[in-house]
Amino acid sequence: RALRSMREVLRGEGILILTQGTTDKQWREQPRFILAVNNERFSRLFVIDYEGNGARYNILDISHADADWGLEVWSVEYRNVLLRDDYQRLLRVAGYRTVEFYGSYGFDPYDPRESDHLIVVATA
């Protein structure tokens, strides 16, 4: 219903872009820890609990800037993680004309075995 609702508000040949970090590769390998960001000012660590078709992302943000040093922790739960084939099926059912998948913001093709990003571009 949500994807159909999004299509209904697109004008003409509008496009819908969806992006997520959970990919077929990650779901197959199911790493427990992912260092998502690590630079001189900030680090973000995901500690992931995989549960059936879903996952809980426990997130640890560490600020290491001198004036801004600190920790922040929270969790996000996804009851049903959608992957490439799920998006393909759901977007077709919702009435999108074309659906394309990319593995990076540089428009590299999505490879279920290797891609670290899942970017979906669908046209109304």
pLDDT digits (tens, 9 = 90+) for 75-109: 999 999 999 999 999 999 999 999 999 999 999 99
Angle, vertex CA 116, rays to CA 110 and CA 118, nearest 5: 50
Nearest Cα residue to 50 out of 42, 59, 62, 58 = 58
| pTM for this prediction | 0.86
Q: Tokens for 92?
A: 């077709």
